[in-house]
């Protein structure tokens, strides 16, 4: 697939997602790709969440039921739209992951990022991507990606991952699911 084909299919992806009122946010770091679905609800409010000290001095997060923007970490809408395009255009099932990686890393990039209506692609520093992968991990593929990012960052222990992502996700905000995802990488 050449750069023009990749751009064409990304535009098609954006068009499909716009019909669902979803925008794909695609983060790329080395060969790791993260898909986020961003959708706007009908009613918009001012505050998404805030930190609050509980009686014992720990931080708690109160999340409002209606968010300005909803981030779907598994990228289900993006993956569904990519599957539709693969079926319609005769592309392999993993065309999107491969195309994004090829566009940015196998050929010298002329753009730092791409944006089309309904889809935005960003190059992400490894630390940022590691934090995002930890925060959204919910599949074996995510565990593999966390392990690959840790290797790239020369991290060999779960504690070092937590220290590395602390500037993005403070320890108080690490959920048991996030901790488990990281610990599974080093079993």
Provide the 3-class DSSP secondary structure of residue 119.
strand
Q: Look at residue 43 in the predicted model and tell me its pLDDT.
A: 38
pLDDT for position 72:
53
Q: Render each residue's pLDDT in the chain as its tens digit; 187 residues.
A: 888 898 899 999 999 999 988 888 887 776 678 787 887 544 333 333 334 434 444 443 333 333 333 445 567 888 899 999 999 999 999 898 888 877 766 544 445 578 888 888 888 888 888 988 898 888 888 899 999 999 999 999 999 999 999 888 888 888 898 999 999 998 8
- Three-state DSSP string of 30-77: CCEEEEEEEECCCCCCCCCEEEEECCCCCEEEEECCCCCCEEECCCHH
Q: How many Å apart are CA 162 and CA 158, to the nearest integer?
A: 6
Strand order in the sheet with 70-72: 70-72, 32-39, 22-29, 119-123, 114-116
pLDDT reported for residue 87 = 95
pLDDT at 112 (0 to 100)? 57
Report the alpha-carbon distance of residue 145 to residue 57 in Å, rounded: 35
* Measured distance CA(136)–CA(130) in Å, rounded: 10
Residue matched to tokens 């889809």:
119
- pLDDT score for 75: 77
């Amino acid at each position: 697939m050449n750069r023009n084909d990749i751009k064409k299919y990304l535009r098609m992806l954006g068009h499909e997602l716009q019909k669902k009122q979803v925008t794909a946010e695609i983060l790329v770091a080395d060969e790791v790709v993260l898909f986020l679905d961003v959708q706007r609800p009908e009613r918009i409010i001012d505050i998404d969440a805030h930190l609050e000290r509980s009686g014992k001095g720990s931080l708690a997060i109160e999340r409002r039921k209606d968010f300005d923007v909803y981030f779907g970490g598994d990228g289900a809408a993006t993956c569904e739209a990519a599957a539709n395009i693969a079926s319609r255009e005769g592309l392999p099932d993993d065309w999107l992951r491969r195309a994004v990686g090829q566009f940015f890393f196998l050929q010298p990039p002329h753009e730092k990022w791409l944006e089309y209506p309904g889809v935005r692609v960003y190059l992400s520093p490894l630390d940022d991507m590691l934090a995002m992968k930890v925060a959204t991990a919910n599949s074996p593929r995510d565990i593999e990606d966390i392990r690959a990012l840790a290797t790239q960052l020369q991290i060999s222990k779960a504690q070092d991952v937590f220290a590395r992502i602390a500037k993005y996700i403070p320890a108080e905000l690490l959920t048991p699911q996030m901790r488990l995802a990281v610990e599974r990488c080093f079993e």
